[in-house]
Structure 1
Amino acid sequence: MYLAKLKVSGLRRISSVELQFRPGLNILVGENNAGKTAVIDSLRALLSTTEDGAVRLDESDLHLSQGGVRATEVLLQYVFEDLTLEQEADFAAALQPMGGDKYAAHFGVRYTLSAGGRLRPKRWCGLHEDNAVSAEMLEDLRAVYLPPLRDPASGLRPSRSSQLARLLTRLATTEEKTSITELMRQFEKDLEKESPVANTQKAIDTQHETMLGAALRQSLSIGLTSPEFHRIAARLQIEVDSFDVDQNGLGYNNLIYMAVVLSELETNPDAAYRALIIEEPEAHLHPQLQGVLLQFLQSKERKKLAEKEDQEGREGKVPADQSVQIFVSSHSPNFASIADVDTLCCIHRGPAGVKSFAPRTVKFVPPAKKDKLQRYLDVTRAELFFARKVILVEGAAELFIVDALAKKAGYDLKRASVSLLSTEGLNFDCFLPLFGEDALNIRVALLSDADPPTGTFPGAKDAIVLSATAKTLEAAKSDWVEPFFALKTLEYDLALHEENRDAMLSALTEMHPIIGATLRIEVEAAPEADRAKVLFKGMFERDKGESIQKGRYAQSLAAAIATSKNSIAIPPYIEKALDFIVKP
């Protein structure tokens, strides 16, 4: 059983959005203020009614439209799928047919404004609001919420409600509880016989009887705890490398706490549905530990799937559902880059408001493009899931040079919320499906080379001749994606402008003094119409010796552009792309 759909209406920045989840791990990613916390609170509104307290909303949580009209209510709708027969019996009142012999459990929560300014919830199941959710159903929907900036040590300290005490109670059989209780009772008896304890007991008893007299005195005893299992469990605590948990680091304590919580959830026989909701785990974990945590969560999902398939194969029936659905919200590109693409659920702000998009719903043609996307998503490229606008370039060389040109021309890409990303070659095809009307509603400028036939060196005013590959990219143009092409390549288009050649040759001379000096003489001796060709061929199509390394040269050229006191001409296709991407 897992939560397959959640529809949120009227909550904070969200007018209306429907999210689709999967069994196991779900990672909510998106920029700040996109609505991730609103989604987390929507989950808690149904799943955490008895754990960590119910979500409390007030009038300020009602959605305010761009026109200044405030919503009158918050409506949350939930659909659970893949129920076992036993779970269908538990949630019979919530069931609705899906087709065939399958049923889904539907729940709803509506928050309406009360006289005191608070929003009061009404929970129901099925399709009719008069069908109230029973207390038994709520107990069957078990979730633990881990808030951001939390203090995990408080959940690990000894107490009756600690996660450690719950886990111990879950794992111990009746006979084992009795055995532990007898061990503690015997230990208490032995402890009482020790001289320091016995003498302390006698001293207290003497003073106590002197104070109150024989008629009023009480029976006192020194011990660790009453020999009852629940009291023993409440006194146990975790030590870390022989230190108290309070002396351990906050990040590691979070990982310990998650391990205890997951263990308790997985061994809970009472709940039909179990969920772990973690908000911003990166708040306490450095990138390496973020990777360790994510690998652990993904391995839990794979292990549960393997166990289910194994049991189905051996017994020929569907096993009891003991899986835990995990929801993690994050605005860390590091977390998004190492996650399986299928686990991501993107929440972003488009022109029409907050929208949701799951990359796993994209049909990559051929399917191998999806695998390529997974390989190419590193920390930098995963930034696209958090961006408002994106410029995609072919490689590192273009990345360095376009960034330098934009700064030189006065474009502040960071303040314009633009992410400049490299696809490492002509790998636009695996990134472009992520953008569009039914995907990420963000503006994308695609910069690429026209790559005309070999030996072609067009003039500045010549028409663009697109290669077959460039034509494919041109066909990707949409309301969200706009391709822009160099006449030949970025370096050649730069060389077409006389004012750029000095900086280009200076950058070359810094790397290769002899080649740079020789090429400068050749360029100056050539007719004006041929100088771009001579400069380009002298670097990247050399008749003798190896051609210049584009990546290294790009770094040198970017530095030359940044420090040049002369004006630098931006190739028209780049200038158009920058204007397109930074406009409101």
Structure 2
Amino acid sequence: MYISKIKLKNFRNFSESELVFNDGVNVIIGHNNSGKTNLLKALSLIFDNNTSKKLTVDDFNQSISDFQNPPRIDISAIMKQSEKPENENKEDQNTVSTWLLDITPPYEAMLTYSFFLPDQELEEYEKELEKLSKSNPTVKDYWRMIKRKFIRKYISRIYGGRLELNNRAESEKLDRFDFQFLGPVRDVEKTMFTGRNPMLKEILDYFLDDDIAKNDKLDEDHKREEIDKRENQFYNDSKAVIDLLKRRVEVNSILEYSSDTGASLGGKPKFEGEISESELLSALKLLIENKTGITIPATHNGLGYNNLIYVALVLAKMQMDCSSYVGVENAKVFPMLIIEEPEAHLHPAMQFKLLKFLKENINQEKQVRQLFITTHSTHITAAVALDEIICMYVDDSDTLCVSYPGNVFDLTKDEDRKSKAYVERFLDATKSDMLFSDKVILVEGLAEQILLDCLSEYENKPLVDRHISVVNIGGRYFEHFLKLFNFDKKDVFKKHAINRMVACIVDSDPTRLEDTKWKKCFPFEIKEDEKHKGIADNVSSLESDKSSNISIFCNETGKGKTLEYDIAFENPDCKLLITDSVIPMHRKIIEQIMDNYSTASFKSLKETPNVDADVCNLLEETGWDEDDKKKGIVAYHYFKAVSNAKGEHAMQLEYNLRKNLESDKPVSFNIPTNFNEAITWINGLSHD
């Protein structure tokens, strides 16, 4: 059994929403105020017996505008039979038997939390509504009236089965669900340091003599016999300690006044006592032993490590609560672990290790049947399968949207199976950022990723202000990642995509046919009478992925190649481009061309010492105008000068460009057209 779905109506930012869950791990991501915390609160209202079921006016969805009937909140959780037999517990169906919606396998059951004004208060509500309506009230006035006169009269109920039947869920069956919630800010010190804490003491008591309980060589009778021996041994040893204490205490001195007060007439007072194993557990303190063997109090341990220890204690408690230790009737049937922002206090490696452990132990040792995690951490999303990710976000119309990235692929098609495998393999912590951002720009390489934010500032359209992420996909593999965003609400697969603006900036990289192979070339090498492609093959194939939220940007002038080439072509006399990573033999050539560029003709620039004559001849044979031919000389030599150190060069160039922006008299710098268009489009502006 697992919680397969939750439906929320009129609760906080959920007007009327539905989320589908996985049988096992559910990692819920999204930017701030998308509703992640509210979702966990909704689950707790149904399954957490320690959560107050009373809500306030602020817990209603504030978009409600019809007050003819008192507003109400309904939250329904659907439990479904697991498709994995090993995930089914023999008590599952018995627990939900009276809440069933469908008894045919796989069975489904439903629990609904409702918060509403009871029928006996409706007459009074109608009277107040009528009085208020005479004063031309606003929505705010209605809420104020409910807050002042009715919210205290609201009641909460948990119903089992179909809501219209109003069948109250049995409290003893609700108790079979174990809802363990770990919030982002946890005062773990109060929970873990001494056995006096009820939770830790109970865990210690449960694991007492666990070595015998797990000894497969002993049957149950022999296990009980061995445990009895230890208990008797403890009793005898502890009695000796108590007797020693009694001998050391001078009882007569303490009780010398008992005869004077007349207390001794009722019998002579004396001291006796014994101590149980459970009582002595309270004396234990949690210490941390480091690699050198030195022990320190847990209070001196790092907060991150203490949080991991706390998680271990919670898992131990969940195991205990599912065992016969608490009694057959009291044992939990469905333990679930809910963690909000596990990245709190944990560095990336520890986040990865924690999640790996939780994934491996799901449904093991009866610890956790279902795991819910909300996170902002790209390291956590990189550690889970795509199917385990649920993305919550608010679109441009302020509508709450839910996407399931793993469901966008049609696995009956080879192409989609390949794409899903590729995305899961390469969706690392850096690329996972695309799942969190408001908008995304996908680029081919590291140089574009390093430079793009700075280039946007030259256009006075900084990406960081709009929460736009630039993601380097490490090649021309756009089509795989675009499936995550190619949204179409009418398509059975695309409806699960993330409806978010995505710009793809693609190198034009022209090619020409040499013998029987297509080879990359410079734009000036292309001749009209030979077979060639003015832009890369993937550009035309990506056009089919264009939609209202996806756009492709490529230099289609017939004079472009890559970012480095295009930047030099647009800035042929800008010495900001010359960085320390420029190959020395090219540096002098570029500097000489730039020095003379504005005054010299193409013919004169051809005569620059060490300029590639063959390239100049090819440029001369094109139909380009004089200025473009001159630009071609600079762009070619600049491309050659930085092609072996693109990443290092991009970092140095970014530094030069930012320093220029901050100067009192910045040098003019032109951004390649396709970059400018992408920046404009992603900012929601027209680039026509």
TM-score grouping bracket, smaller chain normalisation: 0.7 to 0.9
Q: Are residues 1:276 and 2:337 paired? A: yes
* Higher mean C-alpha displacement, 65-74 vs 428-437: 65-74
Matched, 1:358 2:429: no
Q: What secondary structure is seen at the aligned counterpart in 1 of 2:511? A: coil
User: Deviation at 1:504?
Assistant: 5.7
- The answer (yes or no) to whether the contact 1:201–1:221 under 8 Å persists in 2 is no
Aligned to 2:170: 134
Q: State the TM-score, normalized to the length of structure 1.
A: 0.85
Which TM-score applies when normalising by structure 2? 0.73
Residue 56 of structure 1: how far off its partner (Å): 4.5
**8 Å contact from structure 1 (residues 149, 284) kept in 2:** no
Query: Percent identity among equivalent residues?
Result: 25
Cα distance in 1, alignment partners of residues 418 and 252 from structure 2:
80
| Residue pair 1:342, 1:360 contacting (<8 A) in 2 also | yes
Q: Which of 151, 156, 171 is matched with 1:117 structurally? A: 151
Q: 1:467, CA displacement in angstroms?
A: 3.0
Q: Contact 1:392–1:446 (CA<8 Å) still a contact in 2? A: yes
Q: Which residue of 1 aligns with 2:302?
A: 249
Matches within 5 A, 1:84-483: 84=89, 86-97=91-102, 101-112=105-116, 115=149, 117=151, 120-128=155-163, 129-156=165-192, 157-159=194-196, 161-166=198-203, 168-169=205-206, 181-194=231-244, 198-200=247-249, 202=251, 205-206=254-255, 209=258, 213-215=263-265, 221=271, 226-227=275-276, 231-232=279-280, 236-241=284-289, 242-267=295-320, 268-269=322-323, 270-301=331-362, 304=364, 323-352=368-397, 353-363=399-409, 365-435=415-485, 436-437=487-488, 438=495, 439-454=497-512, 455=521, 457=523, 465-483=534-552
Task: Tell me if the contact between 1:369 and 1:430 (Cα under 8 Å) persists in the aligned partners.
Answer: yes
Distance apart, 1:503 and its partner CA? 3.4
Aligned partners of 1:248 and 1:557: how far apart in 2?
A: 44
Give 1:48 shift.
Answer: 1.0
Deviations 1:56-101 (Å, cap 9, x if unpaired)?
A: 5311121123989999232211111225554212211111227x53
Distance in 2, matches of 1:290 and 1:186, equals 47
Q: CA RMSD of the aligned region, Å? A: 3.4
User: What is the aligned partner in structure 2 of residue 578 from structure 1?
Assistant: 679
5+ long unaligned stretches in structure 2? 83-87, 118-145, 214-223, 290-294, 324-330, 489-494, 513-520, 526-532, 598-604, 607-625, 661-665
* One-letter amino acid of the counterpart of residue 283, structure 1: A
2:74 aligned with 1:75, yes or no?
yes
Taking a change above 3 Å as real, the CA distance of residues 95 and 410 of structure 1, as seen in their structure-2 partners, is same
- Out of 575, 584, 587, the residue aligned to residue 516 of structure 1 is 587
Mark the CA change 1:567 to 1:239 in structure 2 (over 3 Å): closer, same or farther: same
Match of 1:277, SS state, is strand
Larger radius of gyration: 2
Distance across 2 between alignment mates of 1:412 and 1:495:
22
CA displacement 1:524-580 (0-9 Å, x = unmatched): 4154221332223224358xxx95432222223222322332111122222221122
Contact 2:304/2:346 (<8 A) preserved = yes
SS of the residue 1:124 aligns to: strand
Partners of 1:143 and 1:4 in 2: how far apart? 16
The answer (yes or no) to whether the contact 1:506–1:560 under 8 Å persists in 2 is no
Segments of 4+ moved more than 6 angstroms: 66-71, 170-177
| Corresponding residue SS for 2:186 | coil
Letter of the structure 2 residue corresponding to residue 481 of structure 1 = I
CA contact (8 A) 1:205 1:220 kept: no
Contact 1:347 1:355 in 2 (8 A): yes
Query: CA 1:232/1:199 → structure 2, altered by over 3 Å: closer, same or farther?
Result: closer
Distance 1:32 1:56 in 2: 25
* Aligned-partner Cα distance in 1 for 2:370–2:65: 38
Q: Which residue of 1 aligns with 2:647?
A: 551
Query: 2:610 is matched with which residue?
Result: none
CA distance in 2, matches of 1:483, 1:21: 33
Q: CA deviation at 1:358?
A: 2.3
How far apart, in 1, do the equivalents of 2:18 and 2:484 lie? 18
Q: How many residues align?
A: 554
1:49 is aligned to 49
Structure 1: gaps (5+ residues): 308-320
Shift of 1:398: 0.9
Question: What corresponds to 2:19 in structure 1?
Answer: 19
Deviations 1:339-367 (A, max 9, x none): 33332221211235222222222216332
Greater RCO (Cα-Cα under 8 Å, separation 6 or more): 1
